[in-house]
Structure 1
Amino acid sequence: MSTEHSAGRACRDLVDAVDLIDHHCHGVIIENPPRAVFEDLMTESPWPSPRGTSGWDSQVGLAIRRRCAPVLDLSPDRSPEDYLARRAELGASEVNRRLLGFARLHTLLLDTGYRGDDILDVAGMAEVSGAPTHEIVRLEAVAEQVAVTLSSGADFPDAYRAALAAATVDAVGLKSIVAYRYGLDFEAARPSEDEVAARAAAWLDEIGRTGRVRLTDPVLLRFGIWCGVDRALPLQFHVGYGDADVDLVRCNPLLMTAWLKATRESGTSVMLLHCYPYHREAGYLAQVYPHVYCDVGLAINYTGARSAAVIAESLELTPFHKALFSTDTFGLPEFYYVGALLFRQGLAETLDDWIAGGHASISDAARVAELIGNANARRVYRLS
């Protein structure tokens, strides 16, 4: 066996053996979905594919068929129709059990703030995955829960702080979707109490007139973020690629630079999620600012066969002690399995390239894999 081949095999083995902590994910659906629902969950687009095509005609579609079919006792060249038929035959519980089991995830950090009634909660995910599962609390969801209980905007600041404190008693982190609701170009400064009360009063009036409870006010969004900083828990931000609700131009993490400077000494770790196509910009921020971390979670599934390139690009500037693993799975357990598998393969390929080029040793590769796979998450989220 050649030295180069031996190094490649050793790299794959060591990455395969590393525990993976999925530091940002969601629950999976309980029922077996019909084809239209399954295909909707496969894509970030809210619109159907053209006639004669489907969401399977994509990198993620290829990845599900090629990677997940064998776990369901199918050959990887079977059609989407065959795959969905086999899924229905096994039933959702068995599909969830198999795919989550084969993903071999050590710990899940679960964002519970989106469509919680449609998917498994923290306890449900711990049971089906067999992995310790901890909660990540979404700032905007807490604000919306508080708003429907109030009649006065003046009560909002104290009520929100109290509700956030109660919601985070057992949580290991927080998350903001300001990227969806406004953009990452929010003002850096903490808003005043009077300003928050006035904006809250306007929001409560809007809720009363429309019946719609959706936080989009930039002042209230910023207030929630600063309250999150005050909780001194790791604070996640959706960055970059997402569904049609985001304005991708305003999802560049460099737009947060002034706020990152303002929070540098706050004691709060800032976790930049997904980041694609701004993963290089996120890597720069993680290198420069001591409290910034990043991942390419969502991008791994959606770039499929090219995911190794994205992983390699994300590690051009990101310090190895600042990179984490996630899948951002929502709904389909396929994303847990594909995300973990592609991450392991892509990281092993990247590390093997470094070794082949004389840039790293096997022991260096083992250290990098351990940091990204779990050690960074253990440290930042204070996991035992």
Structure 2
Amino acid sequence: MTPTGAVHEALAALELVDHHCHGAVTADLTFHEFESLLTEGESWPGVSPFDSPVGIAVRRHSAPLLDLPRHAPPDAYVARRAELGWQEVNRRFLSAAGVGTFCVDTGYTPQPITSPAQLARAAGAVACEVVRLEQLAEAVAARGVEAGEYPAVLRAAAEEAVRRPGVVAVKSVAAYRTGFALDPRRPADAEVTDAAARWLATGGRLTDPVLVRHLLWTAVDLGLPLQLHTGFGDADVRLHRADPALLTDWLHRVAGTVPVLLLHCWPYQRQAAYLAAVFEGVYLDVGLALHHTGPARARAVLEEALEITPFRKLLYSSDAYGVAEFHHLGALCFRHGLAELLQGRVDADELTLTDALRIASWTGRDNARRIYGPPVSEPARVPRGRPTRKV
């Protein structure tokens, strides 16, 4: 892939803000372990995640950063990863991503992964934290709390969490727990207490619709940007309930309060674009859809997201988790797809080059800086020394 044109050059040089991602694993991976992290689903006998768009993209675009030929066979690829060791693998891919700031969701840790500080050191970048609300509520319940005290204790725990240095946003995974077809009203105190009594008596994950609504309204009260998982995820999500358009009535109620950032969105990027076009405080990204569809389709996904989205409303995120290849691939697919889209419009005289370069900077970096503020708006504090991209 040898992209040409001023927009390609500008995006290749742009230090991105990855406004939503996770850590990378801190262990060497077996072949099966690596395969399992390539997919949001499961691995089945005779069906390898390497034989998927993202698996092909890894072999094509990640292999050269491990000093392997493009399209290296899967067994050779995983063996080379093990030979280099996880620290060096993470350093190569994270630095090659060309990201200046990572906003890291610290609430999903099914296996040991890098902390935000470790991620930043490996990349030569800055890392901020995004607090996951459901995990916070479950921690409050695990410590022991009376149902009548739950709202106040949760609020105090949330306020303490967001005061930690480097916290720039909160996140909800309501899409996984209940879906978005929720009563949009703020629940009354008595409703929250009754729901808390039921939940605390049985334990387990927070899935009560009243308590999930309470978390969303708590996020509004905290005053920080609120990230919401929408659309594509693992098998735990019921995709038809994760359509962001189901949030319309709630968005009317919270208009003028906090920025609401719709994460990932696929296959609902057009619905998310509509919401961003009609609500002042709504923003979106297409997240992991880019590396899961690969460079060949990144432009198409971004074109649908940008059909009606104001250019100040689209952000970049990778949603990378586990394998640092995804931090790199997400950035690569975003740069390539957006450059192809914008350069095509310049060539067709639908955009001036000046406008295209402005939109590229807004989307890849400046929109996130404007929404999250410091420390996202600070420059990277560690020399990058990133390897040359071999694409």
Matches of 1:265 and 1:104, distance apart in 2: 34
Which of residues 35, 54, 60 is equivalent to 2:31?
35
> Partner residue of 1:260?
251
Correspondence 1:131-146 to 2 at 5 A: 131-146=125-140
Paired letter, 2:287? G
- Superposition deviation, residue 361 in structure 1: 1.1
Shift of the 165–151 alpha-carbon distance from structure 1 to 2, 3 Å rule, reads: closer
1:67 to 2:74 alignment? no
**Number of residue pairs aligned between Structure 1 and Structure 2:** 370
Unaligned 5+ segments in structure 1 are: 1-6, 208-212
Deviations 1:356-381 (A, max 9, x none): 11100110111000100111100101
Paired letter, 1:329? A
Deviations 1:331-363 (A, max 9, x none): 100001111011101110000111111100110
> Partner residue of 2:367?
376
1:204 to 2:194 alignment? no
Deviations 1:172-195 (A, max 9, x none): 001000000010111110001111
Which of residues 301, 310, 324 is equivalent to 1:319?
310
In terms of fraction of residues, the more helix-rich structure is 1
> Partner residue of 1:96?
90
> Partner residue of 1:125?
119
- Superposition deviation, residue 151 in structure 1: 4.0
Would the aligned equivalents of 1:196 and 1:220 in 2 still touch at CA under 8 Å?
Answer: yes
How large is the Cα RMSD of the aligned pairs? Answer: 1.2
Matches of 2:256 and 2:84, distance apart in 1: 52
Matches of 1:236 and 1:279, distance apart in 2: 15
> Partner residue of 1:3?
none
Paired letter, 2:209? P
1:269 to 2:255 alignment? no
Matches of 2:337 and 2:256, distance apart in 1: 34
> Partner residue of 2:22?
26
Matches of 1:159 and 1:50, distance apart in 2: 47
- Superposition deviation, residue 8 in structure 1: 4.8
1:156 to 2:150 alignment? yes
> Partner residue of 1:249?
240
- Give the structure-2-normalised TM-score: 0.93
Identity of aligned residues (%): 46
Shift of the 181–328 alpha-carbon distance from structure 1 to 2, 3 Å rule, reads: same
> Partner residue of 1:234?
225
Unaligned 5+ segments in structure 2 are: 378-391
1:48 to 2:73 alignment? no
- Superposition deviation, residue 35 in structure 1: 1.3
Matches of 1:293 and 1:134, distance apart in 2: 19
Matches of 2:224 and 2:111, distance apart in 1: 25
> Partner residue of 2:80?
86
Matches of 2:214 and 2:190, distance apart in 1: 11
Runs of at least 4 residues of structure 1 off by over 3 A? none
